[in-house]
């Protein structure tokens, strides 16, 4: 019984430690935001930003301001993914748009 | 010898392949193809009726429009624009001094290609150039004052056919081609191009709205939109289109917007100015 209790305590402690290790820090947020903003800037250069990217960037900043870095990192990563998709769209469309021309 | 003849035959055959309009950079070929597409797809719509946008596509909407047009919602803007147009700048000159025919009945000639700057100049840009040349601050391209001025100028040009020129200047052709590219390029998270709605889906519904055909879509500008509860310039309309497909709008009168207006207005050459328009 005692052994079992010790085992449970060890397991809970490990889970708690893992949870603490997974929590995002301000530095994590800043790194994620920098990557997202760099991708968004590239989309801006291509004149092909998406409104949803901008929404996610705002969300990331709002969550960070509230000290919620897990949510902030998640939103920044989402913004980066959206920005990358808009960049891919712009590059793809450079080749594909002539296919749609009325002939 | 046989080999040479074979190669010569291949070269001749390749040269004889008809170039497609989009590949050749041939605005006149684009014009013909564009016109053919819409007139064949909507054979019951009289050519000049395309300038009435969704009303040319839907009988119920047309009835509502006719009823609304008894007291046109753009009337106040036309009156305001008329007053603004006639009011002298601080230096005593007026807008009329900047334009041919004192600015009356000239809407159909814009956008125009300016050889000096190498840029497409829309009527809205020409109005701001006029203001700045006379020591006045430019107007906001998306706001009511610009809409009122262009509404008045369109009103004085009603019925006059679009007469957009692409001069023999590679920069003018490049601007036209850029406008065409912008029109057919998909953008925004919804992955729509201008053509997705106004070519492929013209006459179809998005929720309760009937999508206007691209042919003649510039003839009604500027427009009063019930959805806005007010007047809107071409810039405002284009920016709204971008937002609706979840794309970040460009700056008003961005080069791409001016060029797409150039392309679409050229496609509507010969069709009458119907602006200012009223839309749901």
**Are B69 and B280 a contacting pair, CB within 8 Å?**
no
One-character DSSP codes across B64-111: HHHHHTTS-TTHHHHHHHHHHHHS--TTS--GGGGSGGGGTT-GGG-S
Cβ separation B246–A98 shorter than 8 A: no
Cβ separation B187–A103 shorter than 8 A: no
Question: What kind and span of H or E run contains B198?
Answer: none
Catalytic residues of B: 241
From residue B252, alpha-carbon distances to B33, B89, B141, B209 in Å are: 30, 24, 6, 24
C-alpha to C-alpha distance for A35 and A79, rounded to whole angstroms: 9
DSSP state of B143: S
A-B CB pairs within 8 A amount to: 62
pLDDT given for residue B192 in this prediction: 98
pLDDT tens digits along A25-35: 999 999 999 99
Distance from CA of A10 to the nearest CA of B (A): 47
Main-chain dihedrals φ then ψ at residue B174, nearest 5 degrees: -65, -40
Q: Which residues of A touch B (CB under 8 A)?
A: 44, 47-54, 82, 85-86, 89-90, 93, 96-98, 100-103
pLDDT given for residue B25 in this prediction: 83
Domain ranges of chain A: 2-100
Whether the predicted pLDDT of B103 surpasses 80: yes
Residues of chain A contacting residue B180, judged by C-beta atoms under 8 Å apart: 101
Closest partner residue to B185 among A53, A82, A97, by Cβ?
A97
pLDDT given for residue A2 in this prediction: 57
pLDDT given for residue B24 in this prediction: 53
Query: Could you tell me where the DSSP H helices lie in chain B?
Result: 2-16, 21-24, 27-41, 59-68, 75-86, 123-133, 144-155, 170-184, 194-195, 234-244, 255-267
Residues of chain B contacting residue A50, judged by C-beta atoms under 8 Å apart: 188-189, 246-248
Indicate the pLDDT class of residue A21, thresholds 50, 70 and 90. low
pTM value? Answer: 0.88
Cβ separation A93–B20 shorter than 8 A: no
pLDDT given for residue B207 in this prediction: 87
C-alpha to C-alpha distance for A32 and A49, rounded to whole angstroms: 18
pLDDT given for residue B195 in this prediction: 98
Average pLDDT over residues A34-63: 98
pLDDT given for residue A8 in this prediction: 53
């Amino acid at each position: 019984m005692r052994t079992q209790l010790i085992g449970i305590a060890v397991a809970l402690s490990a889970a708690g430690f893992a949870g603490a290790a997974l929590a995002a820090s301000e530095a994590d947020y800043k790194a994620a935001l920098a990557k997202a903003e760099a991708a968004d800037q590239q989309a801006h250069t291509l004149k092909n930003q998406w409104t949803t990217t901008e929404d996610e960037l705002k969300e990331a900043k709002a969550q960070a301001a509230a000290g919620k870095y897990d949510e902030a990192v998640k939103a920044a990563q989402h913004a980066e993914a959206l920005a990358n998709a808009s960049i891919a769209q712009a590059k793809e469309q450079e080749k594909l748009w002539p296919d749609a021309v009325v002939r | 010898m046989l080999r040479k003849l074979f190669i010569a035959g291949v070269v001749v055959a390749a040269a004889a392949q008809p170039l497609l309009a989009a590949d050749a950079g041939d605005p006149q070929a684009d014009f013909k193809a564009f016109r053919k597409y819409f007139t064949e797809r909507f054979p019951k719509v009289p050519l000049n009726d395309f300038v009435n946008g969704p009303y040319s596509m839907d009988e119920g909407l047309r009835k509502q429009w006719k009823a609304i047009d008894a007291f046109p919602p753009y009337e106040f803007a036309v009156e305001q624009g008329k007053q603004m147009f006639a009011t002298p700048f601080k230096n005593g000159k007026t807008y009329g001094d900047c334009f041919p025919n004192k600015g009356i009945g000239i809407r159909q000639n814009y956008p125009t290609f300016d050889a000096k700057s190498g840029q497409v100049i829309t009527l809205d840009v020409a109005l701001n150039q006029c203001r700045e040349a006379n020591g006045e601050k430019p107007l906001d391209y998306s706001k009511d004052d610009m809409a009122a001025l262009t509404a008045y100028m369109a009103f004085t040009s009603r019925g006059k056919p679009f007469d957009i020129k692409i001069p023999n200047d590679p920069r003018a052709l490049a601007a036209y081609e850029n406008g065409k590219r912008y029109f057919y390029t998909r953008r925004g998270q919804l992955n729509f191009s201008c053509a997705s709605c106004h070519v492929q889906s013209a006459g179809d519904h998005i929720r309760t709205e009937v999508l206007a055909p691209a042919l003649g879509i510039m003839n009604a500008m500027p427009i009063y939109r019930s959805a806005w509860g007010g007047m809107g310039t071409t810039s405002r309309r284009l920016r709204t289109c971008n937002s609706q497909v979840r794309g970040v709008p460009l700056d008003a009168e961005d080069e791409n917007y001016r060029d797409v207006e150039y392309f679409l207005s050229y496609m509507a050459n010969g069709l009458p100015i119907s602006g200012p328009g009223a839309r749901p």
